[in-house]
Structure 1
Amino acid sequence: MGKPPNLFAFNTADELAVSLRAFVIDAQNSALDRHGVFRVGVSGGSLPKVLAKALLGQVDGTNPLDFSKWEIFFADERAVPLDHDDSNYKAVKDELLDKIPTELGTPIVHPIDVKYLDDIQEMADQYEQTLVRSFAARDSVRTPMFDLLLLGCGPDGHTCSLFPGSPLLRDDSAWVLPISDSPKPPPKRITLSLPVAGHGIKIGFVATGASKKEILRQIFDTEEGHQLPCGLVNGLGQERVSWFVDYPAVEGVSFPARRGSL
């Protein structure tokens, strides 16, 4: 039995950003030591804005970010054009990519292939092939291991585009899955599968605000919550998972939160 996930709680958004930055830099440096590239999977929602605040909101010459060594993938994506307001790529581009100072380098970014907007199975297959090309031959790596996955938590406990009760949660063979009937619009999406989402070397969740306190109480304190998608990632990742939350989001949560630092 491994150790449980880490739950870090902060008083302010600025404190959370400082700690999230340190977490990302540590993951980056470990990855570059291992294999010279930093492979990151990111979600959409409010995460890109928080990530940009963490990475671009301060200068720290002792732990520099080197975006030229980053490869950015999407933990899930909506079947919409890349300039559509629902696009996770657009959110990451607008909040982070377009604001990276030139001296920090330019990451390689892997968006969906918009040729397949009307065929989400093919879109998922093509995105899986993108992972294959980056992570090794499909038959030699059972599950790609991202150096860092940065995920969000929906009010129902969903993460990526893995929703509670979805049959996709039982798929343990595919790396990327299509969704035609997402309970949250837009309905057509692709997502990393649960084994991939729970397999990162480091996995970071960001959840803030009092609206998250009930779902976080379920995820951390109840057996039913352990079966929600976020809870399942906790179970797979164990101590490789770190949650970055503010105090309103964990009000009433019994699971012990560490105060304000890694």
Structure 2
Amino acid sequence: MASCSPLYFSTPFPTLPSSPSLPKLPRLPFHPSLLSHPFTHKPLPLAFSTGIRGASGSGRFFCRAKASMAEKGKGKVEVFDSEDDLSVSLAKYTADLADKFSKERGSFTVVLSGGSLIKSLRKLVEPPYVDAVDWSTWHVFWVDERVVPKDHDDSNYKLALDGFLSKVPILPGKVYAINDALPAEGAADDYETCLKHLVKSNVISVSAATGFPKFDLMLLGVGPDGHVASLFPGHPLVKENEKWVTFIKNSPKPPPERITFTFPVINSSANIALVVCGAGKAGPVHAALGNDQNSDPLPVGMVSPEGELVWFLDKDAASKL
């Protein structure tokens, strides 16, 4: 196997109980001048709920003053009053999927990104999840990584370790960090080799439609310029359609050397959560979800998984919709 070294130890926890389905929420019309379909200009449905349900796993969370809307091709959009409400819902969403795939397949493959995403996962390290999730089934990957030592402040691995992974009992050998002793090209090839080994051993599923690895859940952030992973606007890597993992040596955002999953891998995912907070990211959110037609979409607008896409937005990130 490629170098994906075990870095911490744990004991298994009981599985999370399955969640009963909740009745559908009433749907209310929304004025098309505020939010409409980018092509038909027809109003999208909007659903509201108040209060928070399911704190002990009794159903999906509905956070106070959250607005939900769905549109074909753009996924489900959820807007929260605060980043804290968003984090509560994201924890429940992640735990529910972990429970589902763990029961179906005996494992749960989850892909992390850097930036503010790890902060938004903080509720998973609190009750009820820290003691109820079956962490022994988790396999953790990175959608991109900076080619720096693992203890460097720029490392996405270090960010995840400090803020999340060190607080939950993931089993040895199931946290797949890059080989930071290699240069960017070698680290990308090594990581792709690691993924192919895990596909052959049936840890990672394969998309029947594309042949690319199909992760159970990919948790993505968005940059102020609209980049996802280390796929930046206007960069040739955005169009890479053969490699699973590639590298960049001239990133417009430092550090310059990185590895990244390509869009075919990202979009083969069973589930993607796009987690976006802050007014500084309202522009790319609007570019991806608003009414403007752009022949050259930002990378965030190119996220379109085989399975479910859910946007988790705080009200500041959604302020231009």
1:39 is the counterpart of 2:103:
no
User: Where is the helix percentage greater, Structure 1 or Structure 2?
Assistant: 1
The DSSP-based 3-state class of the residue aligned with 1:114 is: coil
Opposite residue 273 of structure 2, the aligned amino acid is G
Q: Distance in 1 between matches of 2:100 and 2:154?
A: 33
Provide, for residues 95-117 of structure 1, a one-character-per-residue CA deviation record: whole Å limited to 9, x for no partner: 011122x5xx536100011220x
Question: Is 1:241 matched up with 2:316?
Answer: no
Which residue matches 1:123?
Answer: 187
Question: Are 2:184 and 2:249, in contact at CA under 8 Å, matched by a contact in 1?
Answer: yes
Query: How many aligned positions are there?
Result: 243
Matched residue, 2:156:
88
- 1:160 aligned to which of 210, 229, 243: 229
Measure, in 1, the Cα distance between the counterparts of 2:88 and 2:192: 33
Q: Distance in 1 between matches of 2:97 and 2:295?
A: 28
Is the Cα contact below 8 Å between 1:219 and 1:230 reproduced in 2? yes
What displacement does 1:226 show?
A: 7.1
**Deviation sequence 1:44-81 (CA, Å, 0-9, x none):** 11111211x221133259x9311111010110000000
Moved more, 79-88 or 21-30: 21-30
Tell me by how many angstroms 1:239 deviates. 6.2
1:151-204: CA deviations, max 9, x gaps? 100001100000011111111110001101000000000000011112211101
Which one of the candidate residues 218, 221, 242 is aligned to 2:287? 218
Q: Which residue of 1 aligns with 2:300?
A: 230
What amino acid is the match of 1:112? I
Shift of 1:225: 8.1
Determine the C-alpha separation between the residues in 1 that align with 2:306 and 2:190: 30
Change (3 A) 1:113 1:60: closer
- The aligned runs of 1:79-228 (5 Å cut-off) are 79-100=147-168, 105-106=170-171, 108-116=174-182, 119-136=183-200, 142-221=211-290, 222-224=292-294, 227-228=297-298
Aligned to 1:260: none
Root mean square deviation, CA, Å: 2.3
Do the aligned residues in 1 keep the contact of 2:99 with 2:134 (CA within 8 Å)?
no
Following the alignment from structure 1 to structure 2, what is the Cα–Cα distance between the partners of residues 170 and 145? 19
Larger CA Rg, structure 1 vs 2? 2
In 2, the alpha carbon distance for the partners of 1:3 and 1:153 equals 18
Counterpart of 1:74? 142
Partner of 1:13: 83
- Structure 2 residue identity aligned to 1:146: F
Mapped pair 1:50 → 2:120: yes
Check if 1:29 corresponds to 2:84: no
Compared CA separation, residues 92 and 154, structure 1 to 2 (3 A): same
Distance change >3 Å, CA 60–CA 47, structure 1 → 2: closer
Instruction: Report if aligned partners of 1:7, 1:244 keep a CA contact under 8 Å in 2.
Output: yes
Q: Give the 3 Å change call, closer, same or farther, for CA 230–3 of structure 1 in structure 2.
A: closer
Partners of 1:223 and 1:72 lie apart in 2 by: 36
Shift of 1:218: 1.1
Counterpart secondary structure, 1:84: coil
Seen in structure 2, the aligned counterparts of structure 1 residues 97 and 78 have a Cα distance that, compared at 3 Å, is same
Amino acid at match of 1:127: Y
Corresponding residue SS for 1:181: coil
Structure 1 unpaired stretches of 5+: 254-262
Supply the AA of the counterpart residue of 2:178.
I
> Deviation of residue 2 (structure 1)?
5.1
Q: Deviations over 1:121-168 (max 9, x none)?
A: 111010001111112289x87200000000100001100000011111
How much does 1:252 deviate? Answer: 2.5
Normalised TM-score (structure 2) = 0.71
**How much has 1:120 moved relative to structure 2?**
1.4
- The answer to whether the 8 A contact 1:218-1:225 is kept is no
* CA 177–60 in structure 1, closer or farther in 2 if over 3 Å, else same: closer
- CA distance in 2: counterparts of 1:170 and 1:38, whole angstroms: 29
Task: State the match for 1:256 in structure 2.
Answer: none
Q: Indicate the residue corresponding to 2:37 in structure 1.
A: none
